Structure 1
Amino acid sequence: MKLLIQLLLLLTAVSSCKKDKTTDATVSNPMSVKAAATYAVVTEQNVNYCQGLRHQTLNSASYSTMDLKLDVYKPANNSKKKPAIVFIHGGGFVGGDKSDVNIVNLANYFAARGWVAFSINYRLLSDRGTVPAAWIQYAQSSVPLVDQAQFIAMYPAHRDAKAAMRWLITNADRYDIDTGYITVGGGSAGAVIATTLGITTTTDFTTELSLSNDPSLATTNLSSNNYTVKTILDFWGSGVGVTSINNVYGYQRFDRTDAPIMIAHGTADSTVAYTNAIELQNIYTSTGAAYKLYTLLNRGHGAWDAVVNGKKLEELSFDFIVEQQKLIVE
């Protein structure tokens, strides 16, 4: 994954034409959350958020349809408007699951303080999800052979995460969510996806396929694309998802409207090099979008127990979200 990320960051394409990313949701009233764990957490597991194709071979006419699932962590309170936070597991687009203990811990941490938290699954390399021809052609012409399969797997993973976001918007009333306060976050590959969600347009990683290419798109709430990600939590990830779609389609999605991002990355990370954090920092500095970088000295990949200035990652994340979204802490 390290080689793939470094290659793609060097190949970033620049285009002078860029679409508006989202139509911003209206924030009518200040949102309040709790400083300490206050609410019991009610869990709803294995909720279907859409379907996706699983091909026998890459884009083969022989395929099956699989359900894509997420878990919900709800605070047991009577508030009719709650902020939302979506967590995405890592695993290099090859493995991992929404039940990852670190993701579950984060979901419970935030739900106990008033957020509705979600942990999503998405298709992995072995699922062989549908991939646009242009994405495959780019992989075969510009990505080292050893990384091509992983690069190809990135597309359906991102497509699914976009579908999860549209499901959230469709079901906002069901979970008493105020869609003006949405955070996305994850670790490693999950952080790559989260970063993409907060930077690309709401239709990227969706409209590159048609219903004839992928009939399961009809299950993905395609009309619910009016949302804005307000903050991103990037734990040892990168901007490779954004860079990839820029390169394949000639987009330039990085600009000052990008969601504020908190980056936590170890200097001794041998899986996703620390230079990827610096690359994102430099991009955010150049565009003027808000960011916070926490350098985890001498820490490697997956440093979930990291402490910076006496605070754990979940506490740093809490502070960042509160600051950027101007939440009231009770």
Structure 2
Amino acid sequence: MFSNRLLLVCSFFFLTALTACGSGGSDAIDSPPFLFVPEPDNSIPIVKAESTYVTFVDEDVTYAEGLRHESSSTTAVATPLKLDVYYPSNGSTNRPVFMFIHGGGFTGGTKTKPEIVDMASYYASRGWVFISIDYRTAEALITRTSMPQDELLSYFKGLAPQEWIEHALQGVETIKQFEQAVAMYMAQRDAKAALRWIVANAGIYNINTDYITVGGASAGAITAITLGISNLEDFRDEISINNDPTLATTNIQEAYDVKNMVYFWGSNVKLDLFEDVYGAYLYDSDDPELFMAHGTNDANPSTPYSEAIELQGIYDSLSIHNVLVTLEGAGHGAWDVTVGGQNLSGITFDYIVERQNLTVE
């Protein structure tokens, strides 16, 4: 049965979600300045301790397509999925990469949230390639509330697997909660496609794919840890390319290996849901290392501080390195918090360079 936990997730996220917005840019990918070289460098990347480089940004690059409904459509149509690439003005052929996923309750949000843009500049100015992605949310769904269940299953064909949709329909109380449940799957499918795009295009930005970090905040943190912990085929192979032809645009042949994950005030609810639907427990001793920052006064019923404690317990039981920075007295979305005089970018910088053994100058 559909868990009460997801009901809380959907109810809260619908009330608190941000409205998605876009920024101008081009889909074309040209060789960025100071970047293209024919031979990659597979040694340990070198990053800077201080802001050193000018940050360039390639905005609204299409990384894949996904299906969505429009107000007048009776069948889902393909829509481009976008990301922004922030990269430094250096000549390095060997850059680590940090892909970040915005929050917004799976109903909205934007890759250009000011706090994410600031974080992107922090990392790119020190030698990283930082990538902020958009993904499909419940805004991609136009639900006909009068539809019987069999027609509803057909209507959402290709957006989420039938078993996922059927599971959602068992327990939701509103159509918005149903849309959010579908959107949780779409977000995961898209985040995986974005990471495969990074691997496929690593040479353009001189990315060393042995040094991949993924992170996110709130719904983005939920998606980020699911990205790192799930298997390559999860949230990918449950829908056939016949049902979702846009899978052909997602670099489906590429593989990736996430080295570290960064979680801001999230939860493991999506991993629990995957287990509910498919009976698959996804945690194992090969999962990426994990950094968490979570406020003790997080009032979001889907992301209480206890979620971080639970996730830390799972990681400890598997003997996987993890760090939980407890933000005493902080609530949900504690972007402006400082710990030991450092902001979140500085704290995560120290964590990543230590755990990835990066060279810092």
The answer to whether TM tops 0.5 is yes
Please state whether the residue corresponding to 1:311 is helix, strand or coil. Answer: coil
Question: For residue 98 of structure 1, what is the aligned residue in structure 2?
Answer: 111
Question: For residue 264 of structure 2, what is the aligned residue in structure 1?
Answer: 235
Question: For residue 223 of structure 2, what is the aligned residue in structure 1?
Answer: 193
**1:83 is aligned to 2:85:** no
Q: 1:227: how far off?
A: 1.1
Question: For residue 250 of structure 1, what is the aligned residue in structure 2?
Answer: 279
Identity of aligned residues (%): 47
For residues 197-222 of structure 1, the C-alpha deviation after alignment (integer angstroms, 9 at most, x for no partner) is 11111221111010111111010011
**Is the alpha carbon distance of 1:2 and 1:274 closer, same or farther for their aligned partners in structure 2, counting shifts above 3 Å?**
farther
Q: 1:244: how far off?
A: 1.7
- More divergent stretch after superposition (122-131 vs 140-149): 140-149
Per the normalisation by structure 2, the TM-score is 0.81
Q: 1:61: how far off?
A: 5.7
The residue identity in structure 2 corresponding to 1:150 is: Q
Structure 1: stretches of 5+ with no match in the other structure: 9-26
Q: 1:185: how far off?
A: 0.8
> 1: distance between equivalents of 2:5 and 2:179?
13
> 2: distance between equivalents of 1:202 and 1:142?
29
The residue identity in structure 1 corresponding to 2:61 is: V
Per the normalisation by structure 1, the TM-score is 0.89
**1:49 is aligned to 2:63:** yes
Contact 2:42-2:94 at 8 Å conserved across structures: no
Give the structure, 1 or 2, with the largest relative contact order (CA under 8 Å, sep 6 or more): 1
Contact 1:2-1:270 at 8 Å conserved across structures: no
Q: 1:239: how far off?
A: 1.4
**1:37 is aligned to 2:51:** yes
Question: For residue 315 of structure 2, what is the aligned residue in structure 1?
Answer: 284
Question: For residue 157 of structure 1, what is the aligned residue in structure 2?
Answer: 187
**1:217 is aligned to 2:247:** yes
Question: For residue 259 of structure 1, what is the aligned residue in structure 2?
Answer: 288
> 1: distance between equivalents of 2:221 and 2:320?
18
The residue identity in structure 1 corresponding to 2:316 is: T
- More divergent stretch after superposition (36-45 vs 236-245): 236-245
Q: CA RMSD in A?
A: 2.1
- More divergent stretch after superposition (42-51 vs 234-243): 234-243
Q: Which runs of 4+ in 1 moved over 3 A?
A: 5-8, 142-148
Structure 2: stretches of 5+ with no match in the other structure: 11-40, 142-155
Question: For residue 15 of structure 1, what is the aligned residue in structure 2?
Answer: none
> 2: distance between equivalents of 1:329 and 1:144?
52
Q: 1:240: how far off?
A: 1.7
Residues paired across the two proteins, number: 309
Q: Any residues of structure 2 matched to 1:96-135 within 5 Å, and which?
A: 96-128=109-141, 130-135=159-164
Question: For residue 308 of structure 1, what is the aligned residue in structure 2?
Answer: 339
The residue identity in structure 2 corresponding to 1:233 is: V
> 1: distance between equivalents of 2:4 and 2:131?
28
For residues 263-285 of structure 1, the C-alpha deviation after alignment (integer angstroms, 9 at most, x for no partner) is 10111111121111111111111
Q: 1:324: how far off?
A: 1.2
